[in-house]
C-alpha cells in the first residue's frame, strides 16, 4: 500500500541498535536510547536535501521505519510488534558539524528540513515477522549498507514496548530503528537510495527505493546561534574509519585531516635507533620528568626494544555486575587490540596486579598482525610461551594463567591511564629496552631525541677510551681537556 501518514504526531529515532554499527562505534548500550525528530524534517522520495552552507559532514543512515497502527501504552515486548501496522524505508540524515550544539539531543544536526526522507511505499506487516526485514543503502549506485532485522540488539517489539512505558504511541507515529554499519558522508551531487524489503516473505514485498539527491545550500547560519564546528575525530567518525576517510580524501570527496603529524617521524626514529632508554631518561630528568618509568615490566624476548605511540587500555578492579555489563561482546580490551594502528603500542593499566592475565596469545597475535609496535602491561600475560613465539615485543610483570574475570574488568580505551606508576596519555611516545620502559611527552620528543643521540655518541667515545686503558677520572664526565679532544675528533669525522 502507499505510505499515507503525511504528518505523524511523533518521529522517534534509536541511537544504536545493529551489532555491526555498535562494533563500529565501539560502545555497547545496555538498553535502547532515543531522540525525537520534528515532523518538518520529513521529505518524500525523489526529493533533495541541502548540505547547509559552512558544513562539511552530512551523513546518511538507511533505516527501517515502523509505522504504528493501534495505539500502544504499557505493552509487553512480546506484544509490541502487533502494534506496528506497516514498515517503510527512511534515511536519518544528520550533520556532524552541529552535533556539539545540542549535546546528544540532535535537535539541530538531525532536525533540519528534509532530513528525514521516508517512503516511497509502506508494507503491511500482516503475516511478516519482525525478524524478516532487510535494509539496504546505495550511494551513486554502489551498495554501502546491507543488514537484517534478525541481528538487532533491540527487537522492534522491544522498542515499541519500551517507548510505550513512557508515552502513548499513537496511530501514524514513526519509529526509526537504527542504522547498520556503512553509514558515511554524502557530498553535493551524490544520490542516496534506501530500500527496505522482506525477501523471505510471500511475494518478497519491497518499499521501492527512497531516492534523495544532495545539493549545496547557500544560506549561511547567523551568528546568533551555534555555528558549525568540525574536527578530525568527527571526520573519522562521520566517514566510518580513518581508512575510509583517507580513501574519500584520495577520491576528492573529503577534507584532509588538519591535525599536525605526530612528532615520532622518520628523522626522530633515526636519531633514537641506537639510543638506550637510560640515555633518554637522563635527558628527561634534566627537564624535570622523573616519574616517566613504567616500573616492574620486563620483555618477553631478550634484546626486545619498543618505540611507538601509546594506545591506552584501562582495567578496573573486578566486580561481578560490572564484569557482566562491560566484559562481554566487543569490550574495551577487544576494541583496543582490534583497532590498534601500525606503530602504536598498546599500554594496559592493570594497577600493578600481576595475579591474572591481561593479554593472551590471540590478542597479542591480533596486535602483531595489525602492525602494533608492542604491548606494555603492568599486569600478567596469559599463554606466555605462545606469546613468546610471536615477534611482537611484550613487556609485562610475567606469566599468569588466569583470565580477566579474576581481578579485572576491561573498562575503557584511549584515555589517560597509570601504568607501572607512570601517567600515560594516548599519543605519548613509549620507548623500551632491557633496562625498562619510559613515557616521553610528544612535545619534548624532538629535543630529547637530539640530545640523547648526541649523548649516546659521546658515551660510545668515552667507552672506547676506557677500553684503551684510560682512567675514568676526568673522562667520565669529561673535563675540558677530554672535551676538546672529543670535539676535535667529532669535527674531523665531518
Which domains are assigned to the chain? 11-228 (3.90.850.10), 290-440 (3.50.30.40), 454-493 (no CATH)
5: pLDDT strictly greater than 60: no
Per-residue pLDDT of 101-148, as tens digits, reads 887 789 999 999 999 999 999 999 999 999 999 999 999 999 999 999
Asked if 381 and 359 touch (Cβ cutoff 8 Å), the reply is yes
Helix count (H) and strand count (E) of the chain? 15, 27
pLDDT at 328: 84
**Highest mean pLDDT range out of 326-330, 440-444, 472-476?**
440-444
CA dihedral 207, 113, 92, 228 (to 10 degrees): 160
Annotated binding site: 360-363, 382-383
Within 10 angstroms of residue 53's Cβ, the number of other Cβ atoms is 12
User: CA of 295: how far to CAs of 97, 119, 196, 382, 469, in Å?
Assistant: 43, 61, 56, 20, 36
Q: Which residue has the cell 551568528?
A: 223
Tens-place pLDDT, residues 134-146: 999 999 999 999 9
Distance from chain centroid for Cα 373: 19
User: Hey, what's the cell of 204?
Assistant: 518478497
The backbone torsions φ and ψ at residue 386, rounded to the nearest 5 degrees and listed phi first, read: -65, -40
pLDDT band at residue 1 using 50, 70 and 90 as cut-offs: very low
Tens-digit pLDDT profile for residues 53-65: 999 999 999 999 9
The band of 415, judged by pLDDT with boundaries at 50, 70 and 90, is very high
**Which residue did the predictor score with more confidence, 294 or 477?**
294
**461-483: per-residue pLDDT in tens?**
999 999 999 999 988 888 999 98
The pLDDT tens digits for 236-290 are 889 988 889 989 999 999 998 887 778 899 999 999 998 999 999 999 999 999 9
Residue stretches of the annotated binding site for Mg(2+): 383
Would you say residue 405 has pLDDT above 90?
A: no
The pTM score is: 0.63
Of all residues in the chain, what percent carry a pLDDT higher than 90?
Answer: 80
Residues placed in the known binding site for substrate = 360-363, 382
Question: What average pLDDT does range 302-324 have in this prediction?
Answer: 94
* pLDDT average, residue stretch 403-423: 92
CA distance 209 to 131: 21
Dihedral in degrees, nearest 10, Cα atoms 149, 154, 157, 159: -120
Structural contact between residues 164 and 35, judged by C-beta atoms closer than 8 angstroms? no
Q: Compute the CA torsion angle 276, 438, 242, 239 (nearest 10 deg).
A: -160
Give the residue-averaged pLDDT of 59-73: 97
Q: Which residues of 194-215 are buried (b: 16+ CB within 10 A; e: fewer)?
A: bbbbbeeeeeebebbbbbbebe
Question: What are the distances in angstroms from CA 57 to CA 54, 137, 139, 216?
Answer: 10, 18, 15, 12
Amino acid at each position: 500500500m502507499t505510505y499515507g501518514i503525511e504528518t505523524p504526531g511523533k518521529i522517534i529515532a534509536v541511537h544504536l541498535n545493529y551489532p555491526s554499527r555498535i562494533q563500529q562505534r565501539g560502545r555497547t548500550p545496555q538498553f535502547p536510547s532515543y531522540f525525537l525528530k520534528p515532523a518538518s524534517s520529513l521529505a518524500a522520495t525523489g526529493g533533495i536535501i541541502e548540505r547547509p552552507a559552512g558544513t562539511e559532514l552530512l551523513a546518511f543512515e538507511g533505516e527501517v521505519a515502523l509505522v504504528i497502527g493501534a495505539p500502544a501504552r504499557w505493552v509487553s515486548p512480546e506484544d509490541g510488534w502487533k502494534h506496528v501496522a506497516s514498515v517503510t524505508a527512511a534515511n536519518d540524515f544528520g550533520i556532524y558539524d552541529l552535533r556539539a550544539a545540542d549535546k546528544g539531543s540532535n535537535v539541530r544536526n538531525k532536525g533540519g528540513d528534509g532530513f528525514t526522507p521516508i517512503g516511497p511505499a509502506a508494507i503491511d506487516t500482516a503475516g511478516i515477522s519482525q525478524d524478516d526485514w532487510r535494509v539496504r543503502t546505495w550511494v551513486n549506485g554502489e551498495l554501502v549498507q546491507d543488514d537484517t532485522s534478525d541481528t538487532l540488539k533491540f527487537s522492534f517489539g522491544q522498542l515499541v514496548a519500551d517507548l510505550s512505558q513512557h508515552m502513548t504511541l499513537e496511530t501514524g507515529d514513526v519509529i526509526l530503528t537504527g542504522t547498520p554499519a556503512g553509514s558515511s558522508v554524502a557530498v553535493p551531487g551524490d544520490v542516496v537510495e534506501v530500500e527496505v524489503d522482506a525477501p523471505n516473505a510471500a511475494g518478497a514485498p519491497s518499499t521501492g527505493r527512497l531516492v534523495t539527491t544532495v545539493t549545496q545550500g547557500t544560506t549561511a547560519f547567523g551568528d546568533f546561534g551555534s555555528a558549525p564546528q568540525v574536527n578530525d575525530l568527527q571526520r573519522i567518525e562521520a566517514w566510518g574509519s580513518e581508512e575510509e576517510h583517507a580513501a574519500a580524501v584520495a577520491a576528492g570527496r573529503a577534507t584532509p585531516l588538519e591535525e599536525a603529524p605526530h612528532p615520532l617521524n622518520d628523522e626522530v626514529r633515526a636519531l633514537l635507533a641506537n639510543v638506550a632508554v637510560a640515555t633518554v631518561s637522563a635527558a628527561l630528568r634534566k627537564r624535570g620528568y622523573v616519574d616517566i618509568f613504567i616500573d616492574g615490566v620486563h620483555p618477553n624476548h631478550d634484546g626486545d626494544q619498543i618505540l611507538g605511540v601509546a594506545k591506552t587500555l584501562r582495567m578496573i578492579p573486578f566486580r561481578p555486575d560490572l564484569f557482566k555489563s562491560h566484559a562481554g561482546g566487543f569490550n574495551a580490551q577487544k576494541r583496543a587490540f582490534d583497532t590498534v594502528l601500525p606503530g602504536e603500542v598498546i599500554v594496559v593499566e592493570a594497577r600493578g596486579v600481576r595475579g591474572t592475565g591481561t593479554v593472551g596469545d590471540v590478542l597479542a597475535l591480533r596486535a602483531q598482525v595489525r602492525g602494533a609496535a608492542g604491548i606494555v602491561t603492568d599486569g600478567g600475560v596469559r599463554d606466555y610461551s605462545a606469546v613468546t613465539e610471536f615477534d611482537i615485543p611484550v613487556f609485562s610483570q610475567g606469566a599468569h594463567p588466569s583470565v580477566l574475570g579474576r581481578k579485572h574488568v576491561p573498562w575503557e580505551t584511549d584515555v589517560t591511564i597509570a601504568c607501572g606508576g607512570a601517567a600515560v596519555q594516548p599519543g605519548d611516545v613509549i620507548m623500551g629496552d632491557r633496562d625498562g620502559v619510559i613515557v616521553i611527552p610528544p612535545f619534548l620528543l624532538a629535543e630529547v631525541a637530539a640530545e640523547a643521540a648526541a649523548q649516546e655518541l659521546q658515551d660510545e667515545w668515552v667507552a672506547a677510551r676506557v677500553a684503551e686503558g684510560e682512567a675514568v677520572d676526568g673522562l667520565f664526565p669529561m673535563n675540558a681537556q677530554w672535551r676538546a679532544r672529543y670535539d676535535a675528533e667529532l669535527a674531523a669525522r665531518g
